[in-house]
Amino acid sequence: MDRPDFPTLEQVEKADREQLARWYRFLGAGDTPEQRKIQHRLAERFQKMGGMTPELSKQIGFGGE
């Protein structure tokens, strides 16, 4: 299944923390083994960069107010 909203592995490797946070929060489950691999790498890289904080969550539009 084609998912134009799903990043490529190359995009995940180049993304900054804010972009990773947006994908991490809003992307949803992968439909294919390749998408699940990308999602796993995205989560791994995002956690190594410090993961989600209340400030970052608010910055990406998921902070409550």
Q: Is residue 13 part of a domain?
A: yes
Alpha-carbon distance 50 to 14, whole Å? 16
Looking at residue 43, what is its pLDDT?
Answer: 96
Q: What is the pLDDT of residues 5-20, one digit of tens each?
A: 799 999 999 999 999 9
- C-beta separation of 17 from 49 below 8 A: yes
Q: Is residue 47 part of a domain?
A: yes
- pTM exceeding the 0.75 threshold for the entire prediction: yes
What total of structural domains would you count in the chain? 1
Domain that holds residue 53: 9-59
Looking at residue 65, what is its pLDDT?
Answer: 46
The list of the chain residues with pLDDT below 50 reads 1, 65
Q: Which of 53, 44, 57 is nearest to 15 (CA)?
A: 44
Reported as half-sphere exposure (CB side, CA atoms, 13 A), residue 60 has a value of 18
- C-beta separation of 14 from 38 below 8 A: no
Q: Is residue 1 part of a domain?
A: no
Looking at residue 63, what is its pLDDT?
Answer: 60
